[in-house]
Amino acid sequence: MVISNVLSQAAVISKATEAVNNILSISGNIHKSLASQCKVEGHELIVSCQDGMQHNTMVLDVGHKFINGKLNVKIGRTGPQRIRLVSMYGEDYTDAITKTDTGFVINTKDIAGDGLYSLRFDHPIDTEKFIDAFVDIRKAKESPGDEKNEYWMHAELKCPEVLKMKYNRVEIQNIDFTVNVGVSSDIKSIIPQTFENELADSLAVLREKNPHEITKRAMKLAYTKRERGNKKDDVITVLSSLQRMFEARNFGHYISVEKDFMYFNCYRGMENYGNVPYPTWPLSMSVISRTDLDLNKCAADGTVIYKKKDFLEEIRKIVNK
């Protein structure tokens, strides 16, 4: 059993190491090329999931022997999208960098002298592949209650020791979590039967093509309207008013996110209740939360809270108009 666990962990580490070499190949190749020419004192990596970019910072100790020379960085392809060279005193020496077809060259004769310099470069990253390789994401099913429903979330770095071998600092920003909050069954539970009857009869009138049948169905619809209350808005008008409740700016009022996650946004699910030619209400709302991870904080827990009671009270007001 112990041997099996050790082998399993070794396989995970091997996979993570391979992922570092593949997904972060450009930064790895730059590090390797520079380390063969000067001393690399440190390498920091920030992955911004929101814009799909990796932001690297390397601290280079450019010794005296490299002054009036060149640091030729060959990575087998065009260099990073954005690249800067800054001294420890904040002086910008980006003009000393020349991009080439196989990387870039730092012309050390154009910098002030030997010492420490910060090389900062940005490059796109396949965020989906990176998260899949390095972050374990778990989401619990709905935990229903009378007043609110809760959804538990957990994110954790896989094999942080592999990243620690390559980098002094790693930060993964804005890891997205999408939780589908079911709303349809709750809404249906407070919809009066008279409302459902009027909805069904309105739909029957719209779908009928025979003039004689249209008249019959219209008479039946008039009866169901009286049954529901002549002073109430018709169901099509009510459903139209209902749509604003599923806009992000309104539904977001009934969502809170706790612990290590932050609420970011929400959007309406693609499927609606009922097979009708106009919007009724969505089966679910998708809620997006975000969290950050780094080598000092390798795990994050959070909870999405759907304030069901408050939301349904507002829905009831609209339906009963």
Both tokens assigned to 83: 């690249």
Determine the pLDDT at residue 233.
78
Please, what is the Cα angle at 143 between 140 and 145, to 5 degrees?
A: 165
Residue 321: pLDDT band by 50, 70, 90 thresholds?
Answer: confident
Domain match, 251 and 305 both: yes
Residues 178 and 40 in one domain: no
> Are 87 and 204 members of one domain?
no
Q: Is the pLDDT of residue 275 over 80?
A: no
* Mean pLDDT in residue range 274-297: 91
Structural domain includes residue 13: no
Cβ contact 154:299 at 8 Å: yes
E-assigned strand segments in 25-168 = 39-48, 53-62, 70-74, 82-87, 97-100, 103-107, 115-124, 135-139, 149-157
Average pLDDT, the chain: 87
pLDDT at 12: 66
User: Are 34 and 66 spatial neighbours (Cβ–Cβ below 8 Å)?
Assistant: no
Tell me, what's the pLDDT at 67?
Answer: 54
**Banded pLDDT at 6 (limits 50, 70, 90):** very low
How high is the pLDDT of residue 4? Answer: 47
Instruction: Classify residue 130: in a domain, yes or no.
Output: no
Looking at the fold, whether 226 and 304 belong to one and the same domain comes out as no
pLDDT digits (tens, 9 = 90+) for 65-83: 565 578 889 887 666 889 9
* 287: in domain: yes
Residue 177 lies in a domain: yes
How many domains is the chain built from? 3
**Do the strands 255-259 and 284-294 form a parallel or antiparallel pair, or are they unpaired?**
unpaired
Q: Is the pLDDT of residue 203 over 80?
A: no
Whether residues 225 and 242 share a domain: the answer is no
94-117 mean pLDDT? 85
Q: Are residues 262 and 276 in the same domain?
A: yes
Among the listed ranges 51-60, 85-94, 212-221, 234-243, which one has the minimum average pLDDT value? 212-221
Domain housing 302: 142-165+172-188+236-319
pTM of the model: 0.82
* Cβ–Cβ under 8 Å, residues 105 and 72: yes
- Assess if residue 154 is contained within a domain: yes
| Interval 166-186 mean pLDDT | 95
Residue scoring higher pLDDT (115 or 304): 304
Of 27, 55, 37, 53, the residue nearest 106 (C-alpha): 37
Look at residue 231 and tell me whether its pLDDT is greater than 70.
no
- Do 146 and 286 lie in one domain? The reply is yes
66 and 102 part of one domain: yes
- pLDDT beyond 50 at 7: no
Are 183 and 213 in a shared domain? Answer: no
Same domain assignment for residues 161 and 114: no
